Amino acid sequence: MNGYTKPIENPHTEWAHRLVRARQVLQRQQVAEVLNSPSITRFISVRHPISRMISAYNNKFDYGRVHVPSRGLGGTSQFIKYIMEMEGTEFHEDQPVMVTFRQFINLILYQKTKGLKKINNHWRPQYHLCYACSVPYDYIIKQETFDEDLQYLTDKLNITEVKVSLKSNSFAKSNKTYEDHFRDIPKDLIKKILNFYRLDFLLFGYKVPKFFKNLLSPQR
């Protein structure tokens, strides 16, 4: 993007993807060479696995509200079809539907049986999305400390063109806690979803929230 002057108002458009995604402009071999070059600084941006999963649910299924699949929400129809398939229910795109958080967890675990590549990017484990086990990353930036981490990285690399303090979550519509989301989820499902994100916890230094430890600890 060096020298590109036109404002990028929406980075999610296809043309913006072609600018910022190396795989869109480089051949596979070129990407591999860049990722392993000693002159390149590599960093990965991650988020707490459970917080990220809850955010994906809220975004794709409208915070658990009733909605009509054919009317948007990021193309949720395909995901609802999966759920209807699991539950043996007939699916209609124009029929109002509400996807519960429990159904969402079952959807993730169902997609897992099809292979990691079949799992939607919004809730696929981050280590698999960014090849954390094969790319020699130099830094890990966490969303929870994004401003501080980005400031450290730009200072370290003497980069002045990047604006820090850009993180924004002004569109959040829910103040629900982990307890609110998982209160009615069976323990066996909680164990499965924690295990599903196990490598994200381990590789990126995240801790399992105390709520889950208390919930799953043997009762005395």
pLDDT, position 171: 46
Beta-carbon count within 10 A of 69 CB? 22
pLDDT, position 220: 46
> What is the token pair recorded at 28?
């596979």
pLDDT, position 104: 95
Higher pLDDT, 104 or 20: 104
3-state secondary structure of 46: strand
pLDDT for 20 beyond 80: no
Could you give the CA distance from residue 20 to residue 6 in angstroms, rounded to a whole number? 13
Average pLDDT over every residue of 169-198: 84
Q: Which of 74-86 are b and which e, b meaning 16 or more Cβ less than 10 Å from the residue's Cβ?
A: eebbebbebbeee
Report CA-CA distances (Å) from 178 to 54, 65, 145, 183, 194: 9, 18, 19, 8, 13
Tell me: the pLDDT tens digits for 90-130?
Answer: 888 888 888 999 999 999 999 999 899 889 999 999 999 98
